[in-house]
Amino acid sequence: MCGRYASTRSDSDLQAVFDIAETVGAEVPPSYNVAPTQTVRTVLERAPKDEPEADAVRQLRSVRWGLIPSWAKDAKIGSRLINARSETITEKPSFKKAASRRRCIVPADGYYEWEKRDGAKVPYFLHEGLDSGRSAGSTPGVLAMAGLYELWRDPTKAEDDEDRWVWSVTVLTSPAADALGHIHDRSPVVLPPELRASWLDPTVTDLGDVQDLLAAIPEPRLEPYEVSTAVNSVKNNSPELLVPV
């Protein structure tokens, strides 16, 4: 699973990496310990709000981490839906509609995972490896984690309240590659540059095509290293969390 990650790139960095046309919401401060229910930046494509028939525009948008299905009675369910198994997103009621029409990218420098060792849980930071096949001119170190986003209408807010719609996101996971499986059996689905446009394309709505997209995503080439147990507490958030022990 992916329950914590680091995201320290500025909006201008992300705009360049993902060819962003429109930025929505205030810039999110750098975080070395992003946790569920916090506000994060995502990349998605949507038609302009006032022109639903127009071509989709690639956006950098602030959303809440932890997907809230449109049918949810309250937002609490989001804390349990921070991840979605890529093998079942086209079947599960919580994710099926989003898999068809609301796919996105969650940018990250890397993510944390805990290995069970001698009765303890040891934290690691996993990031892009040197042999990741990075294309010429691309910015190193930015993982494009595949995600789904959703819009939920908060029933406690008035119709004219600008905050009545809550945008939320979940990160997709898949079985971990052999090199990482000893740390944890699941890892985020990481999109290579050549598949990002297809993943974001909102005109791809057939669930069979979505399954084909997922099947085409190669295993990520990530490098893990052990970090301090300080990352265990969400109160800790500094560059020192990324320092190898």
Taking each helix axis from N to C terminus, what angle separates 193-200 and 207-216, rounded to the nearest 10 degrees?
170
Active site (annotated) includes residue 87: no
Distances in Å between the Cα of 86 and the Cα atoms of 102, 109, 209 are 14, 21, 14
Query: Do 124 and 227 meet the contact criterion of CB atoms below 8 Å apart?
Result: yes
Residue 223: exposure state from Cβ atoms within 10 A (0-12, 13-18, ≥19)? middle
Choose the catalytic residue: 45, 104, 113, 128.
113
Cα end-to-end span (Å), the chain: 23
Question: Pick from 216, 189, 44, 10: which is nearest to 111 by CA?
Answer: 189
31-34 and 83-85 strand pairing: unpaired
Question: Pick from 81, 115, 112, 114: which is nearest to 96 by CA?
Answer: 81
Number of C-beta neighbours around residue 202 at 10 A: 15
Active site (annotated) includes residue 113: yes
Residues catalogued as catalytic: 2, 113
